[in-house]
A and B are shown apart, each in its own frame.
Chain A
Amino acid sequence: MSWKRIWTMFKARNYEFFRDTAAFGWNFLFPFLIIAGFAIAFGGRDFSALKVGIFPSPGEQVDFRHSNLPEKFIKTEHLVFIGFPDLEAGLVKLKHHQIDFLVRQDSPTPQYWQLASSPKGYLAERLFESSFVPDNHGFGSKKTVAGAEIRYLDWLFPGVLGMNMMFSALWGVGYVIVRYRKNGALKRLKVTPLTAFEYLTAQALSRIFLLTFTLIVVFIGADLLFSFRMAGSHLDLLIVFVLGGLSLTSIGLLVASRGTSEDFTSGALNFISWPMMFLSEVWFSLEGAPQWVKSFAELLPLTHLLRAARKIMNDGATLAQVSSECLVLIGVTLVCLIAGAALFSWNE
């Protein structure tokens, strides 16, 4: 094995990345856009609130001055009231799950509509019913949890970083290698003394370098804009992301080890990345999901990467406390790299 040749190919890939200005820019812009989009969308509104349609109402802003609805219901927290001119307009939105519950406000007796299948509709109904009953303050004790809250954005941020890393690792390695195999660039390299192992090592190291570079820039930029919670060590977080990047890159190398069809590779990479995007808790927690879904998610390296990153960022965990996640990431890396190197083909 020649480190000189590995270094040469490492530099070559990095030159390519930095000179492909479109791809280079997108790698930085994409995570910023996602975070900014969520910050704007979630900034002033609570999307977990129940949406209650009220009619008749001349506009979306509901005027309750002449309403027959109990004041207790109108003043219930975490309910969002949306006005509709008539029943028909409200039902259209209800049928499309755009609101959870629909109430007539000018009726002397309570009149409401809900979808039988909607859990939120069911909860809204229970709230609506309870608002007709006087408060009972004596049934238990209420304690408020103290300390800093973890915003959704704080929880989301590691997910966005991980997702960006996943796409960059899978497509930046897998797709590029297949393209170079197809156009003969790999064939040209094959007839030099460069070995497959040297080439793959250079690709993996280059991608890790680029991912780390991107990660640091995005982390600093996003932190300046949104002040994310960072309870643990930055170095520990970096190590976790490097291990995660290696595992995702090695999956990309394995997918790209053979074949010249960009369509197939794209399909295979989608097949791998989409379950990770939805089941590795990038956007939402799997709490309450069926056990088989949770078990399946444990097979995905992104699940372990994000769990470790969130433990460090949100809960201040040390590297030792996320060692099991790190071991899984190292295991995935080794298995995929060895299999990828064994299966690798330079040409069609």
Chain B
Amino acid sequence: MSDLNTTAPGETHVKATPILEVVNLVKRYRAVEAVAGISFAIPPGICFGLLGPNGAGKTTAMEVIEGIIAPTSGEILFKGARKTASFRDEVGIQFQHTSLLEFLSVRDTLVIFRNLYREVESLEYLVELCNLQEIMEHRNNRISGGQAQRLMLALALLNKPTLLFLDEPSTGLDPQARRHLWEIVRSIKAQGKTVVLTTHSMDEAEYLCDEIAIMDHGKIIARGSPAELVRRHCNGTIISLPRERLTMPLSQLPLPAREVNGLLEITVERIDLGLETLLGLKIDLSEMIVHSPDLEDVFLNLTGRKLRE
């Protein structure tokens, strides 16, 4: 997999000067290598996702790139050059865990952060985009988790960033708020901004990202668009059954299969032939689920583990 940690020469989507380029980035904490030499380049205007389970090193990688923590080694280039002080003026960041000054209202917070930048977005636009109208006079210590996430996103967008970092942006949100956040991210991307997000949610990555780097144990183990990754690492269709429906030993099943969390996952090239084989073996298919492979299956195929394990 080591070849995946470098930018392959001649890749079509990196022909333009990348807005962000990470070269052999390492972050080590004593004996622990949280980021183990990752490299990638992100062309402008796309949504790039770092996908991986908790503890994969996504947030550490992100914070090193953002300049929050210093790298052990490696290089980070912004618009083809080393980062300068202007980097902070040009990027927007939403952290996974952060807090705000407790006794300020949402309005105060937006105004105060706005005054820290030279070029700023219209407050009315951000309030409407992030749906903050009803909480503008609420104090930061009295807003819900979802409202805080929306405020954090508005803060990240205050300075009209060309590059936006979102670290697990939908963590803790209910499905409706999550969907709303996704729509906001899509509208931001539609304005030509580049978005880099970390997530452990494959549906979020699939919905939002043009390109994904899958991380595990501090390394990038696969990279490409969601469709490319599925195509490259998964074949056919997956039939899932409760394990107990199979009365014979797994090794005697004439189809490629594996057991994952009490479920039997059978991969078939053609669904009709696969079903015919299973019916021929008199296997009870009443609780069968048929689905196309997704990023979860990509991760499973690459690591033998599920993303959420």
Contact = CB atoms under 8 A, between A and B. Distances in A.
B89 A188 contact: no
A285 interface: no
Interface of chain A: mostly helix, strand, loop or mixed: helix
Interface of B: 66-69, 85, 88-89, 91, 93, 95, 97-104, 108, 112-113, 115-118, 139, 155, 159
A194 to B, nearest CB: 5
Nearest to A348: B69
B90 to A, nearest CB: 10
A5 interface: yes
A150 interface: no
Contacts of B100: 185, 188
Contact of B68 (A12, A16, A187): A187
Contacts of B115: 4-5, 8
A194 B159 CA distance: 13
Given A12-B112, A191-B91, A193-B89, A185 B103 contact: no
A15 interface: yes
A190 interface: yes
Given A9-B112, A193-B88, 15 more contacts: A12-B112, A15-B101, A15-B104, A15-B108, A16-B103, A184-B97, A184-B98, A184-B99, A185-B100, A187-B95, A188-B100, A188-B155, A191-B67, A193-B118, A347-B68
Interface of chain B: mostly helix, strand, loop or mixed: loop
Interface string A188-209: 1111111000000000000000
A12 B104 contact: yes
Given A20-B103, A185-B101, A347-B68, A192 B113 contact: yes
Nearest to A184: B98
A193 B117 contact: yes
Contact of B116 (A8, A16, A180, A346): A8
Contacts of A12: 101, 104, 108, 112
A126 interface: no
26 contacts: A4-B115, A5-B115, A5-B116, A8-B112, A12-B104, A12-B108, A12-B112, A15-B101, A20-B102, A180-B99, A180-B101, A183-B99, A185-B99, A185-B100, A185-B101, A187-B95, A187-B98, A188-B98, A188-B99, A189-B116, A190-B68, A191-B88, A192-B117, A193-B118, A194-B116, A347-B68
